[in-house]
Amino acid sequence: MDLGDHAKSIKFLIRDRGAYFTDSFDAVFQAIGTHVLPTLPRVPRMNAIAERWIGSCRREATDRILITGERHLRLVVSEYADHYNQHRPHRTLGQRPPDRLTEPEPPTATDNTRIHRRDRLGGLIHEYTQVA
Protein backbone atom coordinates (compact mmCIF):
# COMPACT_ATOMS: atom_id res chain seq x y z
CA MET A 1 0.00 0.00 0.00
CA ASP A 2 1.37 3.39 -0.96
CA LEU A 3 -0.04 6.39 0.85
CA GLY A 4 2.11 8.84 -1.09
CA ASP A 5 2.32 12.37 0.31
CA HIS A 6 -0.57 11.75 2.71
CA ALA A 7 1.46 9.31 4.84
CA LYS A 8 3.11 12.09 6.86
CA SER A 9 -0.27 13.62 7.77
CA ILE A 10 -1.42 10.45 9.59
CA LYS A 11 -0.91 11.17 13.30
CA PHE A 12 -2.68 8.20 14.90
CA LEU A 13 -3.60 4.66 13.87
CA ILE A 14 -6.17 2.99 16.10
CA ARG A 15 -6.36 -0.76 15.59
CA ASP A 16 -7.73 -3.77 17.41
CA ARG A 17 -5.58 -6.38 19.09
CA GLY A 18 -5.94 -9.02 16.36
CA ALA A 19 -3.03 -11.41 15.83
CA TYR A 20 -2.88 -10.33 12.17
CA PHE A 21 -1.38 -6.96 13.25
CA THR A 22 2.26 -7.91 13.71
CA ASP A 23 5.13 -5.86 15.08
CA SER A 24 6.33 -5.24 11.53
CA PHE A 25 2.92 -3.74 10.68
CA ASP A 26 3.26 -1.27 13.55
CA ALA A 27 6.89 -0.54 12.61
CA VAL A 28 5.88 0.66 9.14
CA PHE A 29 3.60 3.32 10.62
CA GLN A 30 5.97 4.24 13.44
CA ALA A 31 8.71 4.84 10.86
CA ILE A 32 6.67 7.68 9.31
CA GLY A 33 5.89 9.21 12.71
CA THR A 34 2.44 7.71 13.27
CA HIS A 35 1.52 6.80 16.84
CA VAL A 36 -0.06 3.29 16.82
CA LEU A 37 -2.77 2.82 19.44
CA PRO A 38 -4.18 -0.68 19.95
CA THR A 39 -7.63 -0.82 21.49
CA LEU A 40 -7.74 -1.55 25.19
CA PRO A 41 -7.69 -5.18 26.30
CA ARG A 42 -10.97 -6.61 27.57
CA VAL A 43 -13.01 -3.78 26.03
CA PRO A 44 -14.82 -5.64 23.25
CA ARG A 45 -17.31 -2.82 22.63
CA MET A 46 -14.68 -0.15 22.00
CA ASN A 47 -14.71 -0.69 18.23
CA ALA A 48 -18.50 -0.95 18.21
CA ILE A 49 -18.92 2.47 19.85
CA ALA A 50 -16.57 4.13 17.35
CA GLU A 51 -18.24 2.35 14.43
CA ARG A 52 -21.66 3.44 15.69
CA TRP A 53 -20.60 7.11 15.65
CA ILE A 54 -19.07 6.79 12.20
CA GLY A 55 -22.21 5.07 10.91
CA SER A 56 -24.45 7.78 12.37
CA CYS A 57 -22.28 10.51 10.85
CA ARG A 58 -22.40 8.86 7.45
CA ARG A 59 -26.16 8.14 7.47
CA GLU A 60 -27.22 11.52 8.84
CA ALA A 61 -24.68 13.84 7.18
CA THR A 62 -21.95 12.81 4.75
CA ASP A 63 -24.05 10.42 2.63
CA ARG A 64 -26.53 13.24 1.97
CA ILE A 65 -24.06 15.95 0.94
CA LEU A 66 -21.75 16.19 -2.05
CA ILE A 67 -18.37 16.64 -0.38
CA THR A 68 -16.14 18.88 -2.51
CA GLY A 69 -12.81 18.44 -0.74
CA GLU A 70 -10.99 17.74 2.51
CA ARG A 71 -11.73 21.18 3.96
CA HIS A 72 -15.44 20.74 3.23
CA LEU A 73 -15.41 17.24 4.77
CA ARG A 74 -13.79 18.56 7.95
CA LEU A 75 -16.41 21.32 8.16
CA VAL A 76 -19.31 18.88 7.73
CA VAL A 77 -17.95 16.37 10.26
CA SER A 78 -17.20 19.14 12.76
CA GLU A 79 -20.72 20.57 12.42
CA TYR A 80 -22.24 17.08 12.80
CA ALA A 81 -20.08 16.35 15.87
CA ASP A 82 -21.34 19.56 17.51
CA HIS A 83 -24.94 18.53 16.75
CA TYR A 84 -24.33 14.97 17.99
CA ASN A 85 -22.78 16.06 21.31
CA GLN A 86 -24.82 19.19 22.09
CA HIS A 87 -28.32 18.60 20.74
CA ARG A 88 -29.08 15.13 19.34
CA PRO A 89 -31.06 13.02 21.85
CA HIS A 90 -29.51 9.69 22.89
CA ARG A 91 -31.79 6.90 24.04
CA THR A 92 -29.30 5.49 26.56
CA LEU A 93 -28.84 8.94 28.12
CA GLY A 94 -32.54 9.55 28.76
CA GLN A 95 -33.05 11.47 25.50
CA ARG A 96 -30.34 13.98 26.45
CA PRO A 97 -27.22 14.85 24.48
CA PRO A 98 -23.85 13.93 26.03
CA ASP A 99 -22.79 17.54 26.70
CA ARG A 100 -26.02 18.37 28.58
CA LEU A 101 -26.39 15.53 31.05
CA THR A 102 -26.29 17.85 34.07
CA GLU A 103 -29.00 20.23 32.83
CA PRO A 104 -32.58 19.73 34.05
CA GLU A 105 -35.11 18.27 31.66
CA PRO A 106 -37.09 20.88 29.71
CA PRO A 107 -40.73 21.32 30.74
CA THR A 108 -43.33 19.29 28.88
CA ALA A 109 -44.67 21.11 25.84
CA THR A 110 -48.25 22.32 25.86
CA ASP A 111 -50.51 23.52 23.05
CA ASN A 112 -49.24 27.10 23.34
CA THR A 113 -45.52 26.31 23.69
CA ARG A 114 -43.40 28.19 21.19
CA ILE A 115 -40.76 26.15 19.37
CA HIS A 116 -37.65 27.51 17.67
CA ARG A 117 -36.09 25.58 14.78
CA ARG A 118 -32.39 25.90 13.94
CA ASP A 119 -31.10 24.49 10.67
CA ARG A 120 -27.64 22.93 10.50
CA LEU A 121 -25.67 21.81 7.47
CA GLY A 122 -27.76 23.92 5.14
CA GLY A 123 -31.07 22.57 6.42
CA LEU A 124 -30.10 18.89 6.35
CA ILE A 125 -30.42 18.67 10.13
CA HIS A 126 -33.07 20.54 12.15
CA GLU A 127 -32.71 21.27 15.85
CA TYR A 128 -35.81 22.21 17.85
CA THR A 129 -35.84 24.02 21.20
CA GLN A 130 -38.57 25.52 23.35
CA VAL A 131 -38.67 29.31 23.51
CA ALA A 132 -39.10 30.80 26.97
The pTM for the full model equals: 0.63
Residues 6+ apart with CB under 8 A from 56: 84
**1 pLDDT exceeds 70?**
no
- Judged by DSSP in three states, 38 sits in strand
Rounded CA gap, 8 and 3, in Å?
9
**By the 8 A CB rule, do 130 and 112 touch?**
no
Q: pLDDT, tens digit, for every residue of 26-48?
A: 998 888 888 998 888 877 777 78
Nearby residues of 3 by Cβ (< 8 Å), 6 or more positions away: 10
